[in-house]
Structure 1
Amino acid sequence: MKQDSQLYIGVMSGTSLDGVDVALCEIDAMHCRLVASYEHPFPSALKEEILHTITHTVTLQTIGELDVKLGKLFAEAVNSFIEKNTLLREEIKAIGLHGQTLWHAPNSSYPFSMQLGSANEVVAATGIDVIADFRGADVANGGEGAPFAPAFHEEIFSYLGDNIAIVNIGGMANISYLGNELLGWDIGCGNVLMDAFMQKTQSKAYDKEGAFAKSGSVNMALLQAMLKDEYFTKLPPKSTGREYFNTAWLNSYLQDFQSISDADIQRTLLELTAVTIANEANRLHVEKLIICGGGAKNSFLMQRLDALCRGEVAKSDAHGVSSDFLEAMIFAWLAYKRVHRQTVNLKSVTGAKKNAILGAHYAAN
């Protein structure tokens, strides 16, 4: 390890709720290198509890206990990772903990973004400093509080030149555009609707390689109806989450298309994700589109993106950055920025009044 570099751990569980990603990064002023990574299983009962909490009225007791349960899960993920890699805790400067987004409402009368996963639980169980609550400062300064990926994407991909875009396809899909000015926003649904429909109709967590979608055909009337949704026509800055794109959203469109087969619906949902991403990339005249996140594993989705986008399409792995753990790396890097009291270049992305120091520091000692 370089003399002036430090080790940070990033912990991320996204809207897909498919696992807890842990990334150990060696970071200095110029570089962020992935040293080791690990995916910790996300208990199915806890996943169901989170989804129920998002879609139902619950008590404060339930939310408080869920915060602690998630904190214990994240601590378990970090401790398992440390043991598997025989790491020395004292060599890890801090853990960047995103938490599990429960509700994201930057445009409400009293804007907020709520992530659960008690940082105090993680500190107590790991003995390592934790940086958490990354989104609050941006929201307090008038920003959307998301997406945060563009600032990190600029850090690691700017060497590729201008007219580059990076799209992370998790539960939601977000884009970072590296041009004359850093831009970025949430495009809309990534895997969230496809995963939910697979769970409902096939009792599977996701559509592996897009095989079920590939067996169906696009229903153009349904696709065009969904593409007219107000979120897709809204101009950036904008951000979204499960509080908007969910089964209720999907059912509101499907009620007028009762006779479509499950395979055709799945195919149309995949096309919705592909078209909304391609529309943004083509509008920006993107020459190179880099894909990361769980959606990069969906080979049929990647085929559709390649067919629809005018520029070159490739996974981030082709540029030496793991498509599976790039998001977790972001929060290791954000922890580094917070420890060194550095602002993060996001105001052009989120619409905040100024760039802010992001995150709250929970000290182990």
Structure 2
Amino acid sequence: MRVIGLMSGTSYDAIDAAVADLDLVGDSLVLKPLGMVSEPYDGELREALTAALPPGHTTLGEVCRLDTLIGQAFAAAAVRADRELCEGLAGLVASHGQTVYHWVAEKEVHGTLQLGQPAWIAEATGLPVVADFRPRDIAAGGQGAPLVSLFDLLWLRGRPGRPVALNIGGIANLTAPDGTAFDTGPGCALIDAAARGFSGGALSYDTDGALAARGRVHGPLLDRLLEEPYYALPAPKTTGKELFHLGRLRDALAGFGTLPAEDVVATLTMLTARTVADAVRSVGATEVVASGGGTRNPVLMGMLGELLPGVAVRTSDELGLPSGAKEAYAFAVLGFLTLHGLPGTEPASTGARHPSVLGSVTPGREGLRLPPPAGRGPTRLLLD
């Protein structure tokens, strides 16, 4: 089956649409990557989304408007991917949507909200759409994240040593071979926030780590940032921009006077590297397979390598999976599993009481024709 996976992460800079051929062969799920297209958010929509996200305030009317506009933007990305990458032969769309809130209180996740109404995608493509992946795991007592953990476990199974999968998006997360998985803290969230704040919106991120490369790590500021209680919480745990945003950064900067922008960004880059490295060491990793936008920041990747002597740090590209497309491919896999009645979670990763078949299905133009339920889920993922 040819599946389009749609993803926009916590950096919300663009919608990624990756196309995969997926086939269950015995106990293996075989994935053939067919490529990815990326559609940047329209500037006006991105500004509206930025304004609505924590710590900003919004209205139900604006939430409704964003749900529609994001759904239409996701639909356009899916149509383009179907046309350019698979000649109109896709059979399913799996849409993560855009996370706008992750409700965490007293160390538990009580709810989550992803916008991007799937009806717009189904109407534009004519295909069935699997969406709203996270709530079912939360209803089963889980964190609803990291949902890529099952993909990681299947993909890295059998590699020598103790490999961990690391994704550095707005928030960074890792998956260990025993199923332990959690958000390590800010990936690029605070770096992006600082770049936007110091540039007055001219920059949306630290391109190629240029700002960090010109700066020096400010020790006292780093120490203050590392006092955040989240880092000491046990796994499973998840977080988001509800915690790591520009307002929290401004609070941390109080009392330090006017620090050069480059020094602040260098310090935030080290914060991400330190918290990721601490997490990697905590699970005894011998290899890190990294993906996500943060892998394009050479300063961040350099810091991470220095903090992890003796641990091989490589990107997923080296193993045949484009690092910028991995999450979109992962949700293509989750959508495929849902359509076949198979669980998309690993309880050890999310803390749920049991595995769950994820998401809700919106029928396509020809109604909903589900394939026969698969007998059991795959035990490994192979790249073709």
Give the TM bin, normalised by the shorter chain: over 0.9
1:22 to 2:17 alignment: yes
Following TM superposition, where does structure 1 have runs of at least 4 consecutive aligned residues deviating by more than 3 angstroms?
A: 106-110
Q: For each residue in 1:247-266, what CA deviation from the matched residue of structure 2 results, as whole angstroms up to 9, or x when unmatched?
A: 11111101122232111101
Q: 1:1-365 to 2 correspondence within 5 Å? A: 6-29=1-24, 30=28, 31-54=30-53, 55-85=55-85, 87-88=87-88, 91-107=89-105, 111-178=110-177, 181-202=178-199, 203-310=202-309, 311-364=311-364, 365=367
Cα distance in 2 for partners of 1:256, 1:32 equals: 52
Q: For each residue in 1:66-90, what CA deviation from the matched residue of structure 2 results, as whole angstroms up to 9, or x when unmatched?
A: 10100000001111222223612xx
Q: Which amino acid aligns with 2:194?
A: F
Q: For each residue in 1:315-345, what CA deviation from the matched residue of structure 2 results, as whole angstroms up to 9, or x when unmatched?
A: 1111111101000001100000000000124
Cα distance in 2 for partners of 1:337, 1:107 equals: 30
Cα distance in 1 for partners of 2:104, 2:337 equals: 23
* C-alpha contact (below 8 Å) 2:6/2:93 kept by paired residues: yes
Q: Which amino acid aligns with 1:278?
A: A
Equivalent pairs: percent with the same residue? Answer: 31
* C-alpha contact (below 8 Å) 1:123/1:130 kept by paired residues: yes
Q: Which amino acid aligns with 2:2?
A: L
* C-alpha contact (below 8 Å) 2:236/2:350 kept by paired residues: yes
Cα distance in 2 for partners of 1:96, 1:23 equals: 10
* C-alpha contact (below 8 Å) 2:68/2:117 kept by paired residues: yes
Q: CA deviation at 1:162?
A: 4.3
* C-alpha contact (below 8 Å) 1:172/1:190 kept by paired residues: yes
The TM-score normalised by the length of structure 1 is: 0.95
Cα distance in 1 for partners of 2:258, 2:250 equals: 13
* C-alpha contact (below 8 Å) 2:4/2:81 kept by paired residues: no
Question: Helix, strand or coil for the counterpart of 2:143?
Answer: coil
Structure 1's 110 and 84: CA in aligned 2 closer, same or farther, altered over 3 A? closer
Structure 1's 283 and 274: CA in aligned 2 closer, same or farther, altered over 3 A? same
Q: Which residue does the alignment assign to 1:3?
A: none
Cα distance in 1 for partners of 2:104, 2:266 equals: 32
* C-alpha contact (below 8 Å) 1:106/1:145 kept by paired residues: no
Q: Which amino acid aligns with 1:299?
A: P
Cα distance in 2 for partners of 1:296, 1:283 equals: 21
Cα distance in 2 for partners of 1:41, 1:34 equals: 21
* C-alpha contact (below 8 Å) 1:106/1:139 kept by paired residues: no
Paired positions, count: 356
Q: Which moved more, 1:339-348 or 1:286-295?
A: 339-348
Cα distance in 2 for partners of 1:159, 1:26 equals: 22
Question: Helix, strand or coil for the counterpart of 1:99?
Answer: strand
* C-alpha contact (below 8 Å) 2:4/2:90 kept by paired residues: yes
> Unpaired segments of 5 or more residues in structure 1?
1-5
Question: Helix, strand or coil for the counterpart of 1:28?
Answer: strand
Cα distance in 2 for partners of 1:110, 1:158 equals: 28
Q: Which has the higher helix share?
A: 1
> Unpaired segments of 5 or more residues in structure 2?
368-384
Question: Helix, strand or coil for the counterpart of 2:91?
Answer: strand
Q: Which amino acid aligns with 2:163?
A: I
Q: CA deviation at 1:300?
A: 1.2
The TM-score normalised by the length of structure 2 is: 0.90
RMSD of aligned Cα (Å):
1.4
